[in-house]
Amino acid sequence: MSISKKATESRDAEVDVKYDAVIVGAGFAGMYMLHRLRGQGLSARVFEAGTGVGGTWYWNRYPGARCDIMSMQYSYSFSEELDQEWNWSEKYSPQPDILAYAEHVAERFDLRKDIRFNTRVTAATFDEEAKRWQVETDQGDVISAQFCIMAVGCLSSANMPDFEGIDDFEGPVYHTGHWPHEEVDFTGQRVGVIGTGSSAIQSIPIIAQQAAELTVFQRTPNYSVPAWNEMMDPDEERAVKAEYPALREKMRSRPTGFYFEFNTQPALDATPEEREGQYETFWSRGGLPFLGAYGDLLFEKEANDTIAEFGRRKIRDVVDDPATADLLCPDDIFGGKRLCVDSGYFETYNLPHVSLVDISERPIERLTKQGIVANGTEYPVDAIVCATGFAAMTGSFDNIRITGRNGLALTEKWRAGPRTYLGLSTAGFPNMFMITGPGSPSVLASMIQAIEQHVDWMSDCISHMRDIGAQTIEAEVNYEDDWVEHVNEVAKISLRSTSSSWYLGANVPGRPRVFMPYIGGFPIYVDKCNEVMTKGFEGFTLDGTKNSDAQPRVHLTERWRVPVDTDVISPAAIAAKRVPIV
Ligand code: NA7
């Protein structure tokens, strides 16, 4: 090991240092990966661009940021002690609570000592001779590791539109995904918010409380369901904690990796009156579980029309001005884009100082010194909030120069869309793993569940490699091709694939349109990963040891031996189009 040039004020760059693994990112994925690898006796270095842990929850500090999965389910499940000791304050956690939880986990498992903060990975190159990855950072680090584990997050590369005149604007321009650490006070200001996705829908009601004037620039309206958020009921929390392992098991067996009651009956079999009652019941539960009202909502357009009409009616019931209400009503598939979950979003448009500008026909023309020009009108603003989303799923990979065997650049390989085997690995890039990579359930499952399953699979894989003395593992192209085809085929049966969403890269100009997450359901996917493992890593080449006589034991982490609940999710159920939220 040698240490050379100064990296930052506080540390020296690491050069020629060897690790078993390098992990890119210290969000929930990177932190748990580090914890697992350490438990296996491996050395690992984590590089993190932020100054602290938490990933998504570190960066997205905008007012009103909140998780759309219930707090008792949006947490790690690997430690029962952790489950028992942590208390959530609200039904749906606000960002500061989730960040505090991430910090607690880092402290409790002593993770920080292996993480280099303030450090962005710039390049990762596979050295074919050494069979190791060389990883470089913007702080001058150049390290080598057997495994390169990308824990870069699915929504972490901000989409900042290149508005003409952006440098002329004299006030501050914020992006919700890069919110400052200092408090931003909009009191008395004229604020322009660009975008009406989830981040906008959460932040607009809070910004409106401070701003003197708020103008929202909307390209496409979104459906949103009230969260009906409330303080955590201590009795409910105690009850969940008494049976936490059982809840975790139920979560793992669900298509989305989190648990709520749903109904598999088709909406089209019900009468209009029955549907109305059912939608009201599920609406009163709030949030994403609203989509569990019927089993065919994301399969049959006619069924979806019924819930979409209900969603639009709810908007019109709330918004006083009919013209504004009309503009806020989407005509898209209900739940085709990620459904938004709000606290008082539509009500905000009834405030006299809040207005909506439709930019669906003509995009924002430019920014001026003191305003935003749209539809030929200049809207004077003191501050701009870009709630314009992310280059989802692959954006963070694009930001790193990743080079595999034969000098193959990952950006080149993925030019027409990401290609992976199981979203875990991609052919030509041995020993590179992707936590919640494209082609895995990732954003369509509860993220922390999806992360844990990937991390456990990778750790088990590494244990297996150690057993048999393999140095590298690499996905085989034909298996990868089959998987990509399967991911695309399954996507086609869902109406989600017809919406212009970030799931398809449709929100950022110039990106290939490919449905990136695996929509076949979390337990089916887990089952597939388990099968690949128990078949000796079928579809992977293990450094020449494949088909050896050795009969190594299977290291499948116990909690993933989840039986697929065939009543609610199975290939047959999907074929019959009776699985809510797939
Ligand atoms: P989203 O959901 O991608 O929303 C971004 C919004 O910004 C959306 O309304 C976009 O319109 C709009 N947008 C993007 N680029 C522009 C330009 N150039 N001009 C005007 N408007 C624009 O991102 P969020 O951060 O809200 O949420 C991401 C996920 O985080 C969310 O789904 C949850 O899972 C958590 P568009 O719809 O593309 O027409």
Residue 68 has pLDDT above 70, yes or no: yes
* Ligand 1 pocket member 224 (CB < 6 A): no
* Ligand 1 pocket member 155 (CB < 6 A): yes
At residue 578, the pLDDT reads 72
Overall average pLDDT of the 174-190 stretch: 97
At residue 1, the pLDDT reads 33
Pocket test for ligand 1, best of 62, 219, 341 (most atoms within 8 A of CB): 219
DSSP, res 182: S
What gap in Å lies between CA 224 and CA 308, rounded to an integer?
11
DSSP 45-106: EEE-SSSSS-THHHH---TT-B-SS-TTTSS--S-HHHHHH---SBSS-BHHHHHHHHHHHH
pLDDT band, very low/low/confident/very high, at 564 (cuts 50, 70, 90): low
Dihedrals phi, psi of 86, to nearest 5 degrees: -90, 135
At residue 553, the pLDDT reads 77
* Ligand 1 pocket member 388 (CB < 6 A): yes
Nearest CA owner, ligand 1 atom 17: 161
At residue 551, the pLDDT reads 64
Pocket test for ligand 1, best of 156, 198, 385 (most atoms within 8 A of CB): 198
* Ligand 1 pocket member 149 (CB < 6 A): no
Asked if residue 106 lies in contact with residue 129, where contact means CB atoms within 8 angstroms, the answer is: no
What gap in Å lies between CA 88 and CA 491, rounded to an integer?
35
At residue 355, the pLDDT reads 98
* Ligand 1 pocket member 508 (CB < 6 A): no
At residue 2, the pLDDT reads 34
The reported pTM is 0.96
Overall average pLDDT of the 421-428 stretch: 98
Overall average pLDDT of the 9-13 stretch: 81
* Ligand 1 centroid, distance to 386 Cα (angstroms): 9
At residue 544, the pLDDT reads 60
* Ligand 1 centroid, distance to 387 Cα (angstroms): 6
Overall average pLDDT of the 160-168 stretch: 96
* Ligand 1 centroid, distance to 67 Cα (angstroms): 16
pLDDT band, very low/low/confident/very high, at 497 (cuts 50, 70, 90): very high
* Ligand 1 pocket member 336 (CB < 6 A): no
At residue 552, the pLDDT reads 66
> Which has the minimum average pLDDT: 133-137, 313-317, 493-497, 572-576?
572-576
At residue 6, the pLDDT reads 45
pLDDT band, very low/low/confident/very high, at 447 (cuts 50, 70, 90): very high
Q: Which residue has the tokens 């050395």?
A: 43
Asked if residue 243 lies in contact with residue 77, where contact means CB atoms within 8 angstroms, the answer is: no
At residue 562, the pLDDT reads 73
Residue 58 has pLDDT above 90, yes or no: yes
At residue 509, the pLDDT reads 87
* Ligand 1 pocket member 507 (CB < 6 A): yes
Angle at 424 between CA 489 and CA 299, to 5 degrees: 25
Nearest CA owner, ligand 1 atom 31: 198
pLDDT tens digit string along 356-410? 999 999 999 999 999 999 999 999 999 999 999 999 999 999 999 999 999 999 9
What gap in Å lies between CA 181 and CA 423, rounded to an integer?
33
Residue 550 has pLDDT above 70, yes or no: no
* Ligand 1 pocket member 389 (CB < 6 A): yes
pLDDT band, very low/low/confident/very high, at 5 (cuts 50, 70, 90): very low
Q: How many CB atoms lie within 10 A of CB 172?
A: 12
Pocket test for ligand 1, best of 154, 388, 390, 447 (most atoms within 8 A of CB): 388
Domain boundaries, the chain: 15-157+392-569
Residue among 273, 51, 63, 330 at smallest CA distance from 176: 63
Asked if residue 348 lies in contact with residue 205, where contact means CB atoms within 8 angstroms, the answer is: yes
At residue 419, the pLDDT reads 97
Overall average pLDDT of the 455-467 stretch: 95
> Which has the minimum average pLDDT: 167-171, 196-200, 464-468?
464-468
Distance of CA 100 to the CA centre of its chain: 19
* Ligand 1 pocket member 343 (CB < 6 A): no
Percent of the chain topping pLDDT 90: 88
DSSP, res 438: B
Q: Which residue has the tokens 């919640």?
A: 436
CATH 3.40.50.1820 fits 15-157+392-569, yes or no: no
Overall average pLDDT of the 337-350 stretch: 98
Residue among 241, 191, 200, 213 at smallest CA distance from 88: 241
- Kindly state the helix (H) or strand (E) to which residue 540 belongs, with its residue range: strand 540-541
At residue 10, the pLDDT reads 76
pLDDT tens digit string along 16-25? 999 999 999 9
Residue 7 has pLDDT above 60, yes or no: no
* Ligand 1 pocket member 387 (CB < 6 A): yes
pLDDT band, very low/low/confident/very high, at 270 (cuts 50, 70, 90): very high
pLDDT tens digit string along 79-138? 999 999 999 999 999 999 999 999 999 999 999 999 999 999 999 999 999 999 999 999
Percent of the chain topping pLDDT 70: 94
Pocket test for ligand 1, best of 95, 199, 393, 436 (most atoms within 8 A of CB): 199
Cα pseudo-dihedral 317, 322, 324, 329, rounded to 10: 60
Angle at 525 between CA 578 and CA 432, to 5 degrees: 150
Arithmetic mean of pLDDT over the chain: 94
